[in-house]
Amino acid sequence: MIRMTKMLDKLLQFVRSIESLAGDYWLHINSSSPVYFEGKRGKNQDAFDFETISHGSIMRTIRMTKPGPNDVVYVLGCGKGRAACHFARCRVRKVVGVELSDSLADIARANAVTLKRPHAPIEIMCADATLVEIGDGTVIFMFNPFGEKTMRNVLGNVEKTHKANQKPLTIIYVNPVFAHVFDEARWLEKTFDYKRFTGQRTVIYRNCHMLSRTGKS
Ligand SMILES: C[S@@+](CC[C@H](N)C(=O)[O-])C[C@H]1O[C@@H](n2cnc3c(N)ncnc32)[C@H](O)[C@@H]1O
């Protein structure tokens, strides 16, 4: 039984790496990689190491949220820019990737240049997500990038600006280890909570202002 589980694990890993390389080839980018860590932990010392998310997971979140021409998408902890590249192939206004590591931010910038058929400009910022002004953002994408303290700081900043400017906001959080931080925020409403066949969970939140405007609540 243990041997069988190990074999299945290896098979799943193999399928994942093929998916990763094939997706990169299709997009003309190079974002596949094993776990990588440069040494920076961020202001709150709680950065997680770089790890890629599958192309399929990103595309599913895009299908579910359907970003449009007025959307400005922020990918917090963008790594090599895979998710930023996928969003830039949608008809959105702009995509901003925020990454703590200089070397990963450089790779993300290079991927933004080679990306096949982008529809939106991509800006990559090398910065700590707690220090970035996300006021123009209407979609925020995260793949378990950092710990609870940074998550609370980021959400606090986003709440302040979004309550002031009353813009619609969608937050996509893949592998949501600190989902409770968002569940506690009364100005947000969870609109999706699903698991892929791989077991990976994703939660999607919208601000109540947007829900009342679109008649979804
Ligand atoms: C799990 S990876 C995300 C992978 C990426 N979203 C992708 O699609 O391939 C987490 C990333 O978040 C970055 N990160 C961690 N803490 C950060 C912070 N405070 N500000 C900005 N980026 C951060 C890490 O350097 C790492 O590249």
Residues 155-169: tens digit of each pLDDT:
999 999 988 888 899
Distance, CA of 151 to CA of 179 (rounded, Å):
10
CA 12 vs CA 6, 34, 51, 55, 180: distances in Å:
10, 15, 16, 15, 29
Residue 141 CB less than 6 A away from ligand 1: no
Distance, CA of 63 to CA of 75 (rounded, Å):
16
Is the entire prediction scored with pTM above 0.85? Answer: yes
**Three-state DSSP class for residue 76:** strand
| Two structure tokens written together for 75 | 């990918």
Distance, CA of 103 to CA of 79 (rounded, Å):
9
User: Which structural domain range is residue 79 located in?
Assistant: 2-214
Q: Give the model's confidence band at 4: pLDDT under 50 very low, under 70 low, under 90 confident, else very high.
A: confident
For residue 216, what pLDDT is reported? 42
Paired sense of beta strands 139-143 and 201-207, if any:
unpaired
Ligand 1 centre and the CA of 14: distance in Å? Answer: 24
Residue 52 CB less than 6 A away from ligand 1: yes
Query: pLDDT per residue over 65-87, tens digit each?
Result: 999 999 999 999 999 999 999 99
Query: pLDDT per residue over 162-212, tens digit each?
Result: 888 888 999 999 999 999 999 999 999 999 999 988 889 999 999 976 555
- Rounded to an integer, the average pLDDT of 132-137 is 95
Ligand 1 centre and the CA of 216: distance in Å? Answer: 31
**CATH number for the domain harbouring residue 162:** 3.40.50.150
Ligand 1 centre and the CA of 22: distance in Å? Answer: 22
Tally of domains in the chain: 1
